[in-house]
Amino acid sequence: MEKYYMAAMGGAEGFGNKSIAHLVEVFGSAKAAWSAPLDELINSGVRKNSIGAFITFRQGHPDAPEKLVGYCERQKIKLCCINDEDYPPILKGINTPPMFFYYRGTLQPNAFRIGIVGSRHNTAYGQNVALELGEQLAAAGLTVVSGAARGIDSFAHRGALKAGRTVAVLGCGINYIFPRENKNLFEEIAERGVVLSEFPPNLKPNPGTFPSRNRIIAGLSKGVVVVEADFKSGALITSNYASEYGRDVFAVPGQVYAKMSRGCNELIRGGAKLIKGAQDILNEYNFASTEKAIDKLEPKITTEPKITLAGAAAKVLEMIPFDRYITDEEIIDKLDDINPSELPGIMLELDMKGCVEEDAGRYKRKVGG
């Protein structure tokens, strides 16, 4: 029951891991902290705003721990706190480890994990790299960790599922599917790996949740591979956390003029380890690959797969220019036979296949797309 008191404390907005850890230390347990008198909480040493948020939340939800037990049972959600035996030891070593997290699947606390991250705006080259790295590392017995986002993350997860295990760290609550098209992917990961989140189960993603997610990806991993990233990509935040935590940072090189390789190339210039395939990572850790995996580990990531489109998707792509962005309205105006309600799905397909580049709802065709 202790873990549910801890998680209930995390339901107070603005009351984070450091504050929870401090109260647990001061009062001896999360249960004692939850029940502590007001004056003792106020004088506990937690910042005024944070302790005020907790007190207000507790007053409004006095039975939150008990309700959380029932909710997790109904939703088939598991809860792991920092004192549990199955809490990954490597994660405890970061500056601000999550005091608890919700998860579906099976934890392997001592697994050897490698993070694979990259931009949601990506090319066919990056997709191919992520798929092959995920599959090859998983085939060799490593667990692939990523952020379950659209783009490189999703391809890394899918590759890993072909041959082994993967861990998806969410930037939202575990019951909130984001992005929506990954619903089936999340279910498959939960069956053959782990989907986890430190946020309340129904919390929607927001700009502040993703850096927190990125620190857990880095914290769970022995090393982090950045596949494709521009200068402001969230993947670089993950690589920064990895450096801060003493993890290895790997980067996949790209063309010097390619926008989505600028971040990776800059990482390499700054000291990240250049990799050409999964074998480079296995060699780094003297990892003995299985015979089954050896056949998979021939580097093949330098070629781009042929993209095939048909029907409406092919028509839409044909009229999107390479040299400028156009809006949904311009696309619809030029293609009278396309139903406006179908366009979001078509653009998602083109985005996932690396055919277009999106910027604030406008689209431009990618070279090679």
Q: Which of 289 and 173 is assigned the larger pLDDT?
A: 173
Q: Are residues 196 and 282 in the same domain?
A: yes
Sequence-separated (6 or more) residues with CB below 8 Å from residue 87: 80, 81, 109
Give pLDDT tens digits for 263-297. Answer: 999 999 999 999 999 999 999 998 765 444 444 44
How many domains does the chain contain in total? 3
Residues 290, 184, single domain; the answer is yes
322 is in which domain, residue-wise?
311-365
pLDDT surpassing 70 at residue 92: yes
For residue 115, pLDDT beyond 70: yes
Q: Looking at residue 32, what is its pLDDT?
A: 97
Give CA–CA dist 293/307, Å, rounded. 27
- pLDDT-based confidence at 12, cuts 50/70/90? very high
- Note whether residue 84 is domain-resident: no
Does 352 lie in the same domain as 210?
no
Any domain includes 95: no
How far are the Cα atoms of 8, 82, 245, 360, 364 from residue 255, in angstroms, in the given order?
48, 43, 29, 25, 19
**Are residues 248 and 138 part of one domain?**
yes
Per-residue pLDDT tens digits for 304-350: 444 567 788 888 887 787 667 888 888 887 777 778 888 888 888 88
Whether 100 is covered by a domain: the verdict is no
177 and 243, same domain (yes or no) = yes
Residue 288's pLDDT is what? 62
Instruction: Place 69 in a pLDDT band, splitting at 50, 70 and 90.
Output: very high
CATH code at position 336: 1.10.10.10
Q: What confidence score (pLDDT) does residue 367 get?
A: 55
89 in any annotated domain: no
Using the 8-state DSSP alphabet, how is residue 35 labeled?
T
Whole-prediction pTM: 0.79
Q: Are residues 186 and 279 in the same domain?
A: yes
Whichever domain contains 148, its CATH number is 3.40.50.450
- Provide the pLDDT for residue 201: 96
Query: Is 303 a domain residue?
Result: no
Domain co-membership, 261 together with 325: no
Same domain, 317 and 212: no
Instruction: State the pLDDT confidence band at 303, using cuts at 50, 70 and 90.
Output: very low
Mean pLDDT of 348-364: 80
**Residue that is last in its domain, among 59, 75, 91:** 75
More confident residue, 357 or 112: 112
Same domain, 283 and 134: yes
44 and 149 assigned to the same domain:
no
Residue 133 within any structural domain of the chain: yes
Tell me the C-alpha distance between 150 and 117, whole Å: 11
- Calculate mean pLDDT across residues 93-110: 96
Q: How confident is the model at residue 75 (pLDDT cuts 50, 70, 90)?
A: very high
What pLDDT does residue 289 have?
55
The more confident residue out of 287 and 225 is: 225
- Check residues 105 and 324 and name the one with the higher pLDDT: 105
Model confidence at 183, pLDDT cuts 50, 70, 90, reads: very high
Last residue of a domain, one of 235, 262, 294: 294
Percent of the chain with pLDDT over 90: 73
